[in-house]
Chain A
Amino acid sequence: MAAILPSSSSSIPASSTAKAPSSLSASRCQFVGIFRTPIAPKSSSASSLVVRSQAQKQDLEAVIPREQRWMFEESEINGPDIWNKTWYPKAADHVNTEKTWYVVDATDKILGRLASTIAVHIRGKNLATYTPSVDMGAYVIVVNADKVAVSGKKRTQKLYRRHSGRPGGMTVETFDQLQKRIPERIVEHAVRGMLPKGRLGRELFTHLKVYAGPEHPHEAQQPVDLPIRDKRVQVEK
């Protein structure tokens, strides 16, 4: 609709008054009826990575059609103010299909340190475009989750508790027992505790994929190795 409106208004200038009501309603949300740069296919992966000083300068004619210029204030005549307002990501900046996928091998890695790095990458806190209310993070695949390590006596002494909600419904398991039963749950439990709790946090948690064995079904996403900066994450043998 955004493409149709300005082309019709430029080709029929005589009936601009007839077009005015429809363009008014369209511009209530600013710039919906405005033809900025021609609707170009998305060039790079995310529009947030456009280096602004190297972006093409937009012609004033292309930004606001002459008929609609009266609707906009002086300060907005060259487009929205992108330098004095803090950037907020648009929907195109966090499309799930264009996100990075990371893979990490959990063999002999300390559980908490590994989970911390994973949570940082899933949340997107390592990116300069981090926004707390939006999912800007990446996907993380964990393989060999049954070989994750803990220090000290945690293997037999760390307890995992869950409660069914009914009286007397508390179940307590040790790290060992849970690893024999459902090894993926250990890494999932650790990472879930480090992600925000709430609607967005639950959605972020679905971006974590944990597998007990060495194989994972996500080869099509071409996952990259997760960069871990913690020097003490690997257990020295």
Chain B
Amino acid sequence: MNKDKIFKLAKGFRGRAKNCIRIARERVEKALQYSYRDRRNKKRDMRSLWIERINAGTRLHGVNYSTFMHGLMKENVQLNRKVLSELSMHEPYSFKALVDISRNAFPGNKIPKEGISA
């Protein structure tokens, strides 16, 4: 690529990396490699963010993420994690209904403890 294209891509870089071609070329190559890698990483990061949000939302209702998803799978609810996380944030009543559906389908694996816990 010629210098103008490199400098155009190097806008906002720190120090000489935006002004001097030798340094800018290296940094721009690295930046393009990072953006290639991160287009794939972004999908992973987003999914883990959705899962964290769903986890927090379900724990407000006393259920954790794993039992919740298992219950939904059993009921063949095919909502994806993106939508579930948006529901948990902005549609609390609908989300509670989903948690109830999941709880009915899969109440959990807890073995009731005999006696008083120490």
Contacts and interface: CB of A to CB of B under 8 A. Distances in A.
Main secondary structure on A side of the interface with B: loop
A83 B53 contact: no
A126 B59 contact: yes
Given A51-B92, A52-B91, A132-B49, A86 B86 contact: yes
B97 to A, nearest CB: 12
The bracket for how many chain A residues form the interface is 10 to 19
Contacts of A24: none
Nearest to A133: B49
Contacts of B85: 86, 128
A53 B91 contact: yes
Contacts of B78: none
A186 to B, nearest CB: 26
Nearest to A120: B56
A148 B94 CA distance: 41
Interface string B79-90: 000100110111
Contacts of B94: 53
B56 A127 contact: yes
Interface residues of B, number: 22
B90 A125 contact: no
A87 B56 contact: no
A86 B90 contact: no
Interface of B: 46, 49-50, 52-54, 56-57, 59-60, 82, 85-86, 88-94, 117-118
A-B residue pairs, 9 tightest by C-beta: A128-B57, A128-B88, A52-B90, A128-B89, A128-B56, A129-B89, A130-B56, A128-B53, A127-B56
30 contacts: A48-B89, A50-B90, A51-B90, A51-B91, A51-B92, A51-B93, A52-B91, A53-B91, A53-B94, A86-B46, A86-B50, A86-B85, A87-B86, A87-B90, A125-B52, A125-B56, A126-B59, A128-B53, A128-B54, A128-B56, A128-B57, A128-B85, A128-B89, A129-B53, A130-B52, A130-B56, A132-B49, A132-B52, A231-B117, A236-B118
Given A50-B90, A52-B91, 11 more contacts: A48-B90, A51-B90, A51-B91, A51-B92, A52-B90, A86-B82, A86-B85, A87-B86, A128-B56, A128-B60, A231-B117
